[in-house]
Amino acid sequence: MDQIIYSIVSVKKQHRELNALLVELKGISGADLYDVFFDDITAIVSNIHRNNVVASRPNIIEYAEVIETLSQQFTLLPVRFGSVMESTDVIIKMLGRNYAEIQSNLRKVENKVEFGLKVFCDPQNAGADTATIALLSSSGENSPDSRHSVYRNYLDKKLQEHRIKERHLAQIDLVIRDITDAFAHLNPLHKFQKMITAANIINDLLLLGKDKKRELVLAVEELQKKYKDLQLLLTGPWPPYNFVDFKII
C-alpha cells in the first residue's frame, strides 16, 4: 500500500501528545494517520492507493486540516499535496538521507507562523488610466496629416502606457516600503510579489513569531487607515507553506 505524506514534524519529547492527536485526526477519505520516525523527526502519513490521490476540493481541505491541526502543537514542514511513497522503509530512508536539511528548515520555522497580506486597488481607478490611453490614441485621427498621425498616435499611446506602468510600479514600491516599515518591529521575513493581477497589486508573505498576531493586525489596521483607496486583506496564521519550498530526495 502506498503512503501519502502530509508533513514532517519535529518531535522531541512529545511522542505521547503526537500519538493522542493522531488518534483523533483523520486523513484523506477518513484514513487513519501514522507516524514514521527517524530520530526526532517524523513523517505523518496515511495509507492510500495512487489512483485515489485526487486533487478535489474535499481532499485538499482534509489534507490541509491535518497540517493545520498538527501545526498548532508542533513545529512542522508542510509537504506538497501528492507526495506518495511506496512503503514505510522508503520514507525512513528519505528522512535519514535528508536529516540535516530537514532539521535546518525546522529550526528556521520553529515557533513561527505564516501570514499573507494581499493589497488590492480599485479597478475603477485602473479604468481611468485606460480611458486616458484611449483618448490619447484616438486624438488626431481625423487631422489633415493623418498619414503621420497613425505612427505618431501609436508612439504616443505606447509612451503613455509606459509612463502609466512606471508610475504605477513606483506607487507599488512606495506601498511596499511602507509595509516593510510598518512591520519592522515584528522582525518578519517577507516575500513580496508585485502586480499579480490588475487589482491585486501586492502579495506579501510573512513569517513571524506565533505571539505577534495581535501586533500584526494592529499594524495592518494602521496601514489601512493610511491607504483608504486600497483594500488590505490579511490571512493567517498559516503553517509555513511558503517558507519551506525546498526539495528533498
Partner 1 sequence: MHDNVIDRSKEITILEVLDRVLNKGVIITGDIVISVADIDLVYLGIKLMLSSVETMEQVKSGK
Segment lying near partner 1 (by CB under 8 A), choices 28-36, 46-54, 134-142, 143-151: 46-54
Q: Which long-range contacts (CB under 8 A, 24 or more apart) does 21-25 make?
A: 21/69, 21/70, 21/73, 25/65, 25/66, 25/69, 25/70
Pick from 105, 112, 102, 111: nearest CA to 39: 102
- Residue 117 or 175 having the CB closest to partner 1: 117
Residue 64 binds to partner 1 (criterion: CB under 8 A): yes
User: 162-201 burial, b if ≥16 CB within 10 A, otherwise e?
Assistant: eeeeeebeeebeebbeebeebbeebebeeeeeeeeeeebb
Q: Which stretch binds partner 1 (CB under 8 A): 59-67, 127-135, 146-154, 218-226?
A: 59-67
39 binding partner 1? (CB under 8 A):
no
Instruction: Tell me the closest approach of the beta carbon of residue 216 to partner 1, in angstroms.
Output: 16
CB of 55 to partner 1, least distance (A): 5
The span from the CA of 203 to the CA of 225, in Å, is 19
| Edge-to-edge order in the sheet of strand 41-48 | 2-10, 41-48, 34-38
Q: Are 231 and 60 in contact (CB under 8 A)?
A: no
User: Which residues have CB under 8 Å from 153's CB, separation 6+?
Assistant: 136, 137, 138, 139, 140, 141
Stretch that binds partner 1, among 57-65, 134-142, 168-176, 214-222 (CB under 8 A): 57-65
- Residue 235 interacts with partner 1 (CB under 8 A)? yes
Pick one of 31, 108, 116, 152: the residue that binds partner 1 (CB under 8 A): 116
- Would you call 26 helix, strand, or coil by DSSP? coil
Give whichever of 8 and 18 is closer to partner 1, judged by the CB atom: 8
> Which residue among 11, 85, 206, 208 contacts partner 1 (CB under 8 A)?
85
Q: Is 198 in the site for partner 1 (CB under 8 A)?
A: no
Bond prior to 237 in cis (omega within 30° of 0): yes
Residue 106 binds partner 1 (CB under 8 A):
no
Determine the residue type at 33. Answer: L
Q: Which amino acid type is present at position 161?
A: E
User: Which range in 28-36, 78-86, 125-133, 151-159 contacts partner 1 by CB under 8 A?
Assistant: 78-86
Out of 81, 99, 192, 227, the residue judged to bind partner 1 by CB under 8 A: 81
**Can you give the binding site for partner 1, defined by CB under 8 A?**
2, 5, 8, 50-51, 53-57, 60-61, 63-64, 67, 77-85, 94, 105, 116, 118, 233, 235, 238, 241-242, 244-249
